[in-house]
Amino acid sequence: MENTAVKKSKGSDFLGKLLRQQLFIPVAALLILAIFNLIADPSFFKITLGYSSAGQPVLSGYLITILDYGSELAILAIGMTLVTAASGGQDISVGATIAIAGSVILRVLCGTDSRPETLQTSFLVAFLVACVVSMLFGAFNGILVAYFKIQPMVATLILYTAGRSIAAWINNNELPIISDPTFAYFGGFIPGIPIPTPFFIAMACVIVIALVLKFTNLGLYTQAVGINEKSSRLNGINPKFIKFLSFVILGLCVAVVGLIKVSRLSSINYSVIAKDIEMDAILAVALGGNALSGGKFNMAASILGAYVIQFLTTTLYKFDVQSDALPAYKAVVVILLVVLSAPSVRQKLSGLGKKLRVKEVA
Amino acid sequence: MSKKSSGAENSILYRLKHMTDTNKLLTITIVIFFLMYIGAIVFQGEGFLKPQTFLSMLNANAALIITSCGMSLVMITGGIDISVGGVVALVSMCSAVYLDYHNGSILGAVLISLGIGLAFGIVQGYLVAYLEIQPFIVSLAGMFFARGMTTIVNTNPFNVQNEAFVALKDTRVIVPGLGSVNKLGRYVDAYVEIGVIVALLVVLLMFVILRWTKLGRSFYAVGGNSQSALMLGINVKRTKFLSHLICSLLAGIGGFVYFMHVGSGSASHAMGMEMNAIASSIIGGTMLTGGVGNIIGTLFGVLSLSTIQNIVSSAGLDQAWWTGITIAAMLCLFLVIQSIVMARKKKSVQA
Task: Report chain B residues whose CB lies below 8 A from the CB of A293.
Answer: 134
Residues 294-333 of B with CB under 8 A from A: 319-325, 327-329, 331-332
Hey, is A323 helix, strand or coil?
coil
Indicate left, alpha or beta for B125 from its phi (over 0: left) and psi (-120 to 50: alpha): alpha
Give the whole-angstrom CA distance, residue B224 versus residue B132.
Answer: 17
A139 vs A296, residue with greater confidence: A139
Q: Are strands B264-265 and B158-159 parallel, antiparallel or unpaired?
A: antiparallel
Task: Report chain B residues whose CB lies below 8 A from the CB of A343.
Answer: 132
DSSP state for residue B187 in the 8-state scheme: E
Residue B173 inside a domain? The answer is yes
Task: Report chain B residues whose CB lies below 8 A from the CB of A164.
Answer: 321, 324
Residue B315 inside a domain? The answer is no
pLDDT in tens, A256-285: 999 999 998 888 888 888 888 888 898 899
Residue A144 inside a domain? The answer is yes
Cβ–Cβ under 8 Å, residues A92 and A160: yes
Cβ–Cβ under 8 Å, residues B67 and B277: yes
pLDDT value of residue A11: 55
Nearest CA in chain B to A345: B131
Three-class SS string for A152-198? HHHHHHHHHHHHHHHHHHHCCCCCCCCCCHHHHHCCCCCCCCCCCHH
DSSP state for residue B291 in the 8-state scheme: S
Give the whole-angstrom CA distance, residue B168 versus residue B148.
Answer: 29
Give the whole-angstrom CA distance, residue B273 versus residue A140.
Answer: 23
Task: Report chain A residues whose CB lies below 8 A from the CB of B147.
Answer: 324, 327-328
pLDDT value of residue B318: 56
Residue A136 inside a domain? The answer is yes
Most confidently predicted of A240-249, B75-84, B164-173: A240-249
> How near does any CA of chain B get to the CA of A148, in Å?
6
Total domains in chain A come to: 1
For the beta carbon of residue A23, count every other beta carbon within 10 angstroms: 15
Residues 86-145 of A with CB under 8 A from B: 89-90, 92, 144
User: How many CA atoms within 13 Å lie on the side-chain side of B288?
Assistant: 29
Q: Do A332 and B145 touch (CB under 8 A)?
A: yes
DSSP state for residue B18 in the 8-state scheme: T
ipTM over 0.85 threshold: no
In angstroms, the Cα distances linking B297 to A33, B53, B138, B197, B347 are: 50, 21, 27, 18, 26
Range of the domain at B176: 52-270+287-293
Residue A352 inside a domain? The answer is no
Does any CB of chain B come closer than 8 Å to the CB of residue A165? Answer: yes
> How many CB contacts within 8 angstroms connect chain A with chain B?
132
Residue A53 inside a domain? The answer is no
Residue A10 inside a domain? The answer is no
Nearest CA in chain A to B124: A335
User: How many CA atoms within 13 Å lie on the side-chain side of B261?
Assistant: 26
Residue A23 inside a domain? The answer is no
Give the whole-angstrom CA distance, residue B58 versus residue B52.
Answer: 9
Name B191's bridge partners: B174
Give the whole-angstrom CA distance, residue B283 versus residue B26.
Answer: 9
Does any CB of chain B come closer than 8 Å to the CB of residue A238? Answer: no
Range of the domain at A290: 62-320
Q: Kindly tell me if the per-residue pLDDT of B17 is higher than 70.
A: no
Q: Do B288 and A151 touch (CB under 8 A)?
A: yes
Residue A31 inside a domain? The answer is no
Cβ–Cβ under 8 Å, residues B117 and B255: yes
Total domains in chain B come to: 1
User: Sign of torsion, CA B320 B321 B322 B328?
Assistant: positive
Task: Report chain A residues whose CB lies below 8 A from the CB of B275.
Answer: 157, 160-161
Which residues lie closer than 8 Å to A177 by C-beta, 6 or more apart? Answer: A114, A115, A266, A267
Q: Kindly tell me if the per-residue pLDDT of A190 is higher than 70.
A: yes
What is the pLDDT confidence band of residue A42, given thresholds at 50, 70 and 90?
Answer: confident
pLDDT in tens, A63-93: 888 999 999 999 999 999 999 999 988 998 9
Give the whole-angstrom CA distance, residue B155 versus residue B109.
Answer: 19
Give the whole-angstrom CA distance, residue A215 versus residue B57.
Answer: 58
Nearest CA in chain B to A148: B339
Give the whole-angstrom CA distance, residue B338 versus residue B334.
Answer: 6
Cβ–Cβ under 8 Å, residues A33 and A277: no
B143 vs B339, residue with greater confidence: B143
DSSP state for residue A150 in the 8-state scheme: -
Nearest CA in chain A to B90: A328
Residue B314 inside a domain? The answer is no
Task: Report chain A residues whose CB lies below 8 A from the CB of B272.
Answer: 161
- Chosen from B84, B140, B144, B318 to mutate, greatest number of chain A CBs within 10 A: B144
Residue B161 inside a domain? The answer is yes
CATH code of the domain in which A315 resides: 1.10.3470
B50 vs A212, residue with greater confidence: A212
Give the whole-angstrom CA distance, residue A286 versus residue A282.
Answer: 6
Residue B231 inside a domain? The answer is yes
Residue A285 inside a domain? The answer is yes
pLDDT in tens, B159-182: 888 888 888 888 888 777 666 666
Task: Report chain B residues whose CB lies below 8 A from the CB of A331.
Answer: 141-145, 148
A182 vs A238, residue with greater confidence: A238
Does any CB of chain B come closer than 8 Å to the CB of residue A80? Answer: no
What is the pLDDT confidence band of residue B337, given thresholds at 50, 70 and 90?
Answer: confident
Does any CB of chain A come closer than 8 Å to the CB of residue B247? Answer: no
- Percent of chain B clearing pLDDT 90 (strictly above): 33
Question: Rounded to the nearest 5°, which phi and psi values hold at B234?
Answer: -85, 140
Residues 268-297 of A with CB under 8 A from B: 276, 279, 282, 286, 292-293
Helices (H), B213-319: 214-224, 226-231, 236-262, 273-283, 295-314
Cβ–Cβ under 8 Å, residues A98 and A73: no
Mean pLDDT of chain A: 85
Residue B131 inside a domain? The answer is yes
Q: Do B145 and A90 touch (CB under 8 A)?
A: no
What is the pLDDT confidence band of residue B92, given thresholds at 50, 70 and 90?
Answer: very high
Residue B278 inside a domain? The answer is no
Q: Kindly tell me if the per-residue pLDDT of A5 is higher than 50.
A: no
Q: Do B134 and A325 touch (CB under 8 A)?
A: no
Task: Report chain A residues whose CB lies below 8 A from the CB of B321.
Answer: 164-166, 168-169, 173
For the beta carbon of residue A110, count every other beta carbon within 10 angstroms: 19
pLDDT value of residue A1: 42
